[in-house]
Chains A and B, each alone.
Chain A
Amino acid sequence: MLSRTADNLFWMCRYIERAENTARMLDVNLQMSLMPQDAQARDSLWRAVLRISELQRDYDARYPAVTPLDVLHYLVREPTNQSSIYSCLRAARENARAVRGSLTTEVWETYNTTWLELQKHLQTHLPERNPGEFFEWVKFRAHLVRGVTIGTMLDDEALHFLRLGMHLERADNTARLLDVKFHEEQDDLAARSSEFYRWASLLSSVSGLEIYRKVYRDVISPDRVAELLILRPDMPRSLLASVQALTEDLARVANQRSAETERRAGLLYAELRYGRIEDILHSSLHRYLERFLERINDLGNRISQDFLVPLAA
């Protein structure tokens, strides 16, 4: 397969995954902000969203204050914000268009229709009228893309690179969500009363609330939330599940140059596979996740170097 094609496939999937995760995060935040709480707490809620995506600075340069409306505008429809849902879906579709010959007709049409529908939703102000419905739409488009991809594509290199992009982005996004929510906890220990809702919201942002109940059959505790999202191999959006999938697909596409990348991915996988949540929390979850994000970033760069179009320095 052409390196450039693999590159487009990889990024196409990363962007759709990113759009979905942004939608999930915003959706949960919106629900959280309906809870009774003081202005400061509400403010920090929206700041957290910006921090997750490392966009606080860019946002502050554009807007005088953090208001829900502005943050939503910035993260949903701002075309000059490369991480907005609009930009991600556009980039996903542009990448798909560049490799439409390597996609099944259904997959291409799903991406194209997503883009066309997005424009319609923005024109009719759906994100402002009914943000919940809009975020639900984004999530379901992402579900549809994945379903159509798995249901129609040949299980060959194209699919492997698609999945690499998807799992790399997912590992990154879950780690960021966790990091921000746990950070918050240290920030204001006073807001204990809302603790249940904090963890419940984190879980539902990764569709994990019901899973938590099923796995632990107990009240929600931060340690277990962390364990579920980091170390559970059967939790689809956990770090371990994402890295495991990543490692498997890396092995499938391996070439003469990729041994070191495979080794690093394998090492990360082994650490997660045999890691214990007590050890992770003991040393500092924040540092652990920071380190994890660095390693994911390193893997992304190495994949680009070994197989794709190397990223500009």
Chain B
Amino acid sequence: MLHAQSAPSAAYDEMVDAQGLVRPHYAGFSQWLTQESTDAMAARQIEADLSFRRVGITFSVAGDEAGTERLIPFDLIPRIIPADEWAHLSAGLTQRVRALNMFIRDIYHGHDIVRAGIVPAEQVFLNAQYRPEMQDVDVAEDIYCHIAGVDIVRAGAGEFYVLEDNLRVPSGVSYMLENRKMSMRLMPEAFSSLKVKPVAHYPDLLLDNLREVAPRSNDAPTVVVLTPGMYNSAYFEHAFLAQQMGVELVEGQDLFVDQNAVYMRTTRGPRRVDVIYRRVDDDFLDPLSFRADSALGVPGLLSVYRAGRVTLANAIGTGIADDKSTYQYVPDMIRFYLQEEPILSNVPTWRCSRPDELSHVLAHMHELVVKEVHGAGGYGMLVGPTSTRAQVEAFKERVRSHPSNYIAQPTLALSTIPTYVQSGVAPRHVDLRPYVLCGKDIRTVPGGLCRVALTEGSLVVNSSQGGGTKDTWGLGA
């Protein structure tokens, strides 16, 4: 099947260069695709949808009727990353997560970076994400962000930018794994002609990583995955990871604290828990310490945690490092802690809390992307160039009334990949979230979650906003 190629002018297309020629790392796939009929590809698409529904790979969206489940559309054309590009990304991710982890440790101990005048004190201590409960608490192996999902985009000239560091409870890794299974099943010929590096060992790495940070010297620490429950939007992923690691999937009600230790209720009585891979936000972890109305948490968990008798992954308080207003200091953190130059760039960011930067943002809002500092999921943001004048004006009001709640960035022409849409195949904007495991070593797997904005021209890739996913193929050298 031939694909209509006309990448939107400004964007970098991952598959086709500016002259309309297929890039070398896509040559094998493109050749295979050319030989496939439209019908054969359509049949594959139907099979993929059916299969995702049968397996129950679904998510629920806030605002939908409770319990309704949606599929995230899966697109057959993969994102392919050549070996040298991945090596570059991997080195940059490793460096960045190492520095971020050191930053969090520093913030909850001696505040070196604040005393050195690199990050202002108010940025840290007046931030809602700073958790005073964590001050001077030692966590196992000094590791805070055990699992990081770093959002990466590629702009017009093909350069990479880090858009966001997700260090709290990043999700989506199950899609990386399930999408891979799907593309291997549906397109085995395309797959075998390329040297695609595997990602299926991620759950093993994750389990290793979690065992490494067990609090007591124990040959067989008990690891559990803590989920808010089956109506959570990422429940499928929680269950999936627990199953893949062969550990229990627990809810708050399954755990209790006794004699300064955490136990789970089993059919054979209480059993001690050492490491909790928690997919519950800080605020809901312990009703005695955080939100008292939380039914998702475990009363008394924080005190056991502070005593070092249970490990939480990720640690409490990592939000201080992935907050959108902290983001702009990350390159300086890398220089400060590692004495290295950042391998991956930040997107230039204006902070509306600063009067001079605020006036710039207000004057140029129609060109910028404006985001809430604590927002997530593509909500509470404005994409200037695709918004109406009235929307921009309304947003200016919101920013003026709470400037410190907002940051702004230039609108990047996110790179595109040809994607199946109603009218055939057309370029759509994508991003990439690789997953970084931070244990005694920092490890990545050569792939990630590639999200695609299915609406023409849209830059919002979030699944809650109608985004889809693609498999990501990291090629061997």
Rounded to whole Å, the gap between the CB of B355 and the closest CB of chain A is: 52
- A253 and B267 within 8 A (CB): yes
State which of B53, B55, B249, B254 has its C-beta within 8 Å of the C-beta of A105. B55
Find chain A residues with CB under 8 A from B251 CB.
Answer: 4
A36 at the interface (CB under 8 A from B): no
Please report which residues of chain A, range 22-69, place their CB below 8 angstroms from some CB of chain B when the two chains form the complex: none
State which of B56, B253, B254, B268 has its C-beta within 8 Å of the C-beta of A97. B56
Whole-angstrom distance between the alpha carbons of A113 and B248 in the complex?
Answer: 24
Q: How many residues of B contact A (CB 8 A)?
A: 22
A130 at the interface (CB under 8 A from B): no
- B56 and A3 within 8 A (CB): no
Find chain A residues with CB under 8 A from B54 CB.
Answer: 109, 112-113, 116
Find chain A residues with CB under 8 A from B243 CB.
Answer: 100-102
Find chain A residues with CB under 8 A from B266 CB.
Answer: 1-3
A-B pairs under 8 A by CB, number: 60
- A101 and B56 within 8 A (CB): no
Rounded to whole Å, the gap between the CB of A265 and the closest CB of chain B is: 16
B265 at the interface (CB under 8 A from A): yes
A284 at the interface (CB under 8 A from B): no
Contact with B along A75-100 (1 / 0, CB 8 A): 00000000000000000001001111
A5 at the interface (CB under 8 A from B): yes
B242 at the interface (CB under 8 A from A): yes
- A255 and B239 within 8 A (CB): no
Find chain A residues with CB under 8 A from B248 CB.
Answer: 1-2, 5, 101
Contacts A2-B254, A4-B254, A109-B55 given; indicate if A100 touches B269 (C-beta within 8 A).
Answer: no
Contacts A255-B268, A307-B267 given; indicate if A3 touches B254 (C-beta within 8 A).
Answer: yes
Find chain B residues with CB under 8 A from A6 CB.
Answer: 267
Please report which residues of chain B, range 241-284, place their CB below 8 angstroms from some CB of chain A when the two chains form the complex: 242-243, 248-251, 253-254, 264-269
Whole-angstrom distance between the alpha carbons of A276 and B253 in the complex?
Answer: 47
Please report which residues of chain A, range 108-154, place their CB below 8 angstroms from some CB of chain B when the two chains form the complex: 108-109, 112-113, 116
A283 at the interface (CB under 8 A from B): no
- B267 and A255 within 8 A (CB): yes
Contact with A along B126-153 (1 / 0, CB 8 A): 0000000000000000000000000000
- Report the contact-size class of chain A (Cβ under 8 Å from the partner): 20 to 34
Whole-angstrom distance between the alpha carbons of A157 and B251 in the complex?
Answer: 20
Whole-angstrom distance between the alpha carbons of A97 and B235 in the complex?
Answer: 9
Whole-angstrom distance between the alpha carbons of A6 and B254 in the complex?
Answer: 12
B230 at the interface (CB under 8 A from A): yes
Whole-angstrom distance between the alpha carbons of A163 and B268 in the complex?
Answer: 18
- B56 and A100 within 8 A (CB): yes
Q: Majority SS of interface residues in chain A?
A: helix
The closest CB in chain B to the CB of A93 belongs to: B56
Find chain B residues with CB under 8 A from A101 CB.
Answer: 239-240, 242-243, 248-249
Rounded to whole Å, the gap between the CB of B411 and the closest CB of chain A is: 40
Find chain A residues with CB under 8 A from B53 CB.
Answer: 116
A256 at the interface (CB under 8 A from B): yes
Rounded to whole Å, the gap between the CB of A180 and the closest CB of chain B is: 35
Rounded to whole Å, the gap between the CB of A179 and the closest CB of chain B is: 32
Please report which residues of chain B, range 51-70, place their CB below 8 angstroms from some CB of chain A when the two chains form the complex: 53-56
The closest CB in chain B to the CB of A4 belongs to: B254
Whole-angstrom distance between the alpha carbons of A112 and B251 in the complex?
Answer: 22
- A97 and B55 within 8 A (CB): no
Rounded to whole Å, the gap between the CB of A43 and the closest CB of chain B is: 38
Contacts A101-B242, A101-B243, A101-B249 given; indicate if A4 touches B56 (C-beta within 8 A).
Answer: no
Interface centre among A97, A157, A253, A255 (most CB of B within 10 A): A97
Whole-angstrom distance between the alpha carbons of A4 and B248 in the complex?
Answer: 11
The closest CB in chain A to the CB of B253 belongs to: A4
Please report which residues of chain B, range 218-252, place their CB below 8 angstroms from some CB of chain A when the two chains form the complex: 230, 235, 239-240, 242-243, 248-251
The closest CB in chain B to the CB of A161 belongs to: B267
Contacts A2-B250, A116-B53 given; indicate if A157 touches B267 (C-beta within 8 A).
Answer: yes
Rounded to whole Å, the gap between the CB of A91 and the closest CB of chain B is: 12
Interface centre among A101, A105, A113, A256 (most CB of B within 10 A): A101
Find chain B residues with CB under 8 A from A109 CB.
Answer: 54-56
- A2 and B265 within 8 A (CB): yes
Interface centre among A3, A161, A308 (most CB of B within 10 A): A3
Rounded to whole Å, the gap between the CB of A309 and the closest CB of chain B is: 9
Whole-angstrom distance between the alpha carbons of A60 and B267 in the complex?
Answer: 41
Whole-angstrom distance between the alpha carbons of A234 and B269 in the complex?
Answer: 35
The closest CB in chain B to the CB of A308 belongs to: B267
Rounded to whole Å, the gap between the CB of A30 and the closest CB of chain B is: 31
- A3 and B242 within 8 A (CB): no
Find chain B residues with CB under 8 A from A255 CB.
Answer: 267-269
- A97 and B230 within 8 A (CB): yes
Whole-angstrom distance between the alpha carbons of A218 and B90 in the complex?
Answer: 78
Whole-angstrom distance between the alpha carbons of A100 and B230 in the complex?
Answer: 10
The closest CB in chain A to the CB of B50 belongs to: A116
Rounded to whole Å, the gap between the CB of A286 and the closest CB of chain B is: 36
- B267 and A256 within 8 A (CB): no
Whole-angstrom distance between the alpha carbons of A6 and B265 in the complex?
Answer: 11
Contacts A3-B254, A101-B242, A101-B249 given; indicate if A112 touches B267 (C-beta within 8 A).
Answer: no
The closest CB in chain B to the CB of A1 belongs to: B267
Contact with B along A275-313 (1 / 0, CB 8 A): 000000000000000000000000000000001100000
The closest CB in chain A to the CB of B243 belongs to: A101
The closest CB in chain B to the CB of A113 belongs to: B54
- B56 and A112 within 8 A (CB): yes
Find chain B residues with CB under 8 A from A112 CB.
Answer: 54-56
Whole-angstrom distance between the alpha carbons of A108 and B398 in the complex?
Answer: 47
Find chain A residues with CB under 8 A from B268 CB.
Answer: 1, 255
The closest CB in chain B to the CB of A8 belongs to: B230
Rounded to whole Å, the gap between the CB of A20 and the closest CB of chain B is: 21
- 12 inter-chain pairs at a CB distance below 8 angstroms, sorted by A residue, are A2-B264, A2-B265, A3-B265, A5-B248, A5-B249, A97-B56, A97-B235, A101-B240, A101-B242, A112-B55, A113-B54, A157-B267
- Nearest 9 A-B pairs (CB), nearest first? A101-B243, A101-B242, A101-B239, A307-B267, A3-B265, A101-B249, A6-B267, A100-B239, A112-B56
Given A2-B264, A101-B242, 4 more contacts at CB 8 Å?
Answer: A2-B267, A97-B230, A116-B53, A253-B267
